[in-house]
Amino acid sequence: MTSFLTLDSLSLATPDGTPLFRDLTVSLGRERVGLVGRNGSGKSTLLRAIIGAVPVATGSIHLAGRVGMLQQALDETQDLAAALGVANALACLARMERGEGSPDDAAEADWTLPARIDQALADTGLRQVPLTTPIATLSGGERMRVALARQLLEAPDLLLLDEPTNNLDTDGRAAVMDLIRAWPGGLLVASHDRALLEQVDRIVELSPIGVTLFTGGWSDFAAAREAARDAAETGLTRAADELRRTRGTIQKAKERQDRRDKAGRAARTRGDQPKMLLDKRQERAEASRGRGSHLAARQMAETEDALAAARARVAILAPLAMDLPSCHLPSGRRLIDFRGVEMSFGARRLFGPLDFQLTGPERVAIAGPNGAGKSTFLRLVTGKLHPTAGTALRLTDHLALLDQHVGLLDDDETILGNMHRLNPGLATNTAHAALARFGFRNTDALQPAGTLSGGERLRAGLACVFSRPEPPELLMLDEPTNHLDLRTVEALETALAAYDGALLLISHDTSFLTAVSVTRTLPL
């Protein structure tokens, strides 16, 4: 198989020199490879290093073909032709057709381009969109399709994608999945989207304990990861047992030596043996004790180091935990009652008339394309917006909304400072205990919120809203899995599955919605 990319003993670091990962060696040909790891593990940095935007620390990157990178954001001042990168080429063809072309135009004219554009737009579901369409008028899903169409036109040998399904609606996600399944060259995608990762041939995991390569998609990776966790737990048990055995062996050796020393002192006291013999015995005993002490110290150091390494491995591989306090919501209690609700902004109508009731610990997914008004619906529930028509009743004051960026956190304050601001009167020890339940222990709570990763922000936001005197009976989350690594997504799923309150969720991540047992869907 032709190799488009070869990474040889590659190591990357942050601009300040902090190592991200070490000794990555892999070749990539006509295959689909997923790149996974915690936030901050170096996934995006690796993609940028491949296109030459980031220097390598050690090792080398060799490209044997053309490389392209899917654009995450398009220039809203452009039209479709410019965003596809074909505006100049089409202008050249137009001049030639009018008989106004120059010799340079004749040399550069690509008469196959119109047909290739039509095919790329058809393949990405944009056949009916004119090339003069402003990008600013397109939805998020349509913009992703434009970016995909450009890659189909440019047809690089190796395509790089960085979290391509983030912020996309169902149609946009489907377009990305179709591209991945049909891409004819090499493809390297950094993602936490499990449905996407199920489509790849191999997965590369970047972690603090090293780089690991797995054959197969997400299901195979998850099974191998569970096996690694089990092996780490077994290793920790063995290391702890070995430390106990070593301590026991050393103690027994010390007791034997103490008995010999006691016997020697008794013999010297009796005086029935020659002094020269007793001195020689004492000299040998002291030498033996010294060697024994040195050996014992070395054995203890080795076993303690092995135990520390085993604990570190378990800590890295162990699932993250979040503990949501119980709200004891009765099954028959009505929380929301919307009757004939309509929502518009000026001449733009979003949705309605809409009837919606939420009773007890239901789990409801709010569905619809980007721009349908899903986030607006949640703001209606909070009372921050009022409907254009109809009645929107909220029958509980115990609710919380976390948007995609967890905007309730003040970036300039520490996590602990945010906790105190959002929960006045909370004792410092109680605040620390609450944060510890979400993985922020000791000095971790003193980090400024502005320095947190997406997963850390979500955990901090949940810690703050669930530290209120009355925990939320209704929790609303807007695209909560965007910007989260897989470890945090799984921890969130486990926490929400055990939560006894009601959930209103905006998410296009079907794996996530299944994991938290969504009971019904409200389409907008």
Helix (H) or strand (E) run with residue 417 in it:
helix 415-422
Tokens of 298: 């070395």
Are β-strands 399-402 and 348-359 bridged in parallel, bridged antiparallel, or unpaired?
A: unpaired
Query: What was the pLDDT predicted at 278?
Result: 54
CA 51/CA 72 separation, integer angstroms = 15
Phi, psi of 487 (to 5 degrees): -60, -40
Residue 194 sits at φ, ψ, to 5 deg, of -70, -35
Rounded to the nearest 5°, which phi and psi values hold at 46? -65, -45
Q: What is the pTM of this model?
A: 0.70
194: closest CA among 477, 510, 517, 519? 510
CA distance 502 to 238: 43
pLDDT digits (tens, 9 = 90+) for 209-222: 678 888 998 888 87
pLDDT score recorded for residue 174:
82
Low-confidence ranges of the chain (pLDDT < 70): 1, 208-209, 227-233, 236, 257, 261, 263-297, 299-300, 304, 306-320
Question: Token digits for 195?
Answer: 């449905």
